[in-house]
Chain A
Amino acid sequence: MQHHISINDVPHRLWLGRSADGYVLHVGDVVAPVALRRDADGQSVLDTGERQVPMVVAVDGDVIHIHLDGEAYRLAYTDAVTFHAAAAGGAAGDIVRAPMPGVVIASPVAAGEDVAAGDTLIVIESMKLETAIKSPRAGIVETVFFTLGQTFDRDAILVKLVSEGE
């Protein structure tokens, strides 16, 4: 499984492996040795064996800015789990269940409404505690199974989202 990196918002797949001598970059069918060194002045130098290119690297959270050969590049790394979860329409399912028995005290969304991931779908009260049940993913509400004041058991299906691909 390869890494997912976007360079100036263009997605790339690559892998950084190891050989006896150091790092090896795998891109498509190309396998090339690479190294990032510092010269005597503390300048970073990208060494691909054939070329030694000075470069400037700045890390800003999950984004890396690179200045190389007179061009600026913006690199963003997405870990494989996040990438494939997003590619498959999110890891979460269509069904939202009750984490504990309780009663509905607010019902802010109705069937057919668009919701974003993290939007409150329903608010329940249980064991003197108010809990907002959030949408696990973006989507459309298919059914809200309980109305204000209704009680339910643990694991009852509270809300169903319209299945992806339907």
Chain B
Amino acid sequence: MTLPEAAGLLLATVARLITGAQGHWHGSPPKAEQRIYFANHQSHFDWVLIWAALPGDLRSTTRPIAARDYWTSTPLKHWITREIFNAVYVSRQRTDDEDPLEPLMEALRNGDSLVIFPEGTRGNKGDPAPFKAGLYHLAEAFPEVQLIPTWIDNVQRVMPKGEVVPVPILCSVTFGAPLLLQPGEDKRAFLDRARDAVIALRSVH
């Protein structure tokens, strides 16, 4: 076992000890198909929770998105995101000649699965914010990739904004049935439908 693998295993164990990280699969079995998981975003802990809730053999092919300026700023952050999570780096500054989604498209062309948080930022409480357009563009470009709505429950209590140490509280991750982009579907309509699919999982248990 290499060092990043061991570190990953340790991290998943800690996440399970603290949150239980229970994965509930409703409508899509945990299979090694190429997928985009899109979830509500409340805490820095969200990604680790989804990752720990996935079965071990899906973890290596499922990648998070990380902001390049923040997650490469120190060697440790860079090492964690690169070696353990195999993150896809995106830049937050928009330049005219570069499509911000290009690194994601690249990863999908390689056959990797992605986890994205389409709200773009961490919400405070209640319902998720309206989704950003990235999900739509990815769905349009890769119609064969399954879009799995994902609801993360309770995690804001584990680590509220501004706190560093997580409190042990049980959380669950609910994965729903795949969402399909209808032919000719309007961008806004699709994004709202995707958001509703995520919210609907809140009451499914």
> Are A and B part of the same complex?
no
Give residues in A with beta carbon < 8 Å to B: none
Give residues in B with beta carbon < 8 Å to A: none
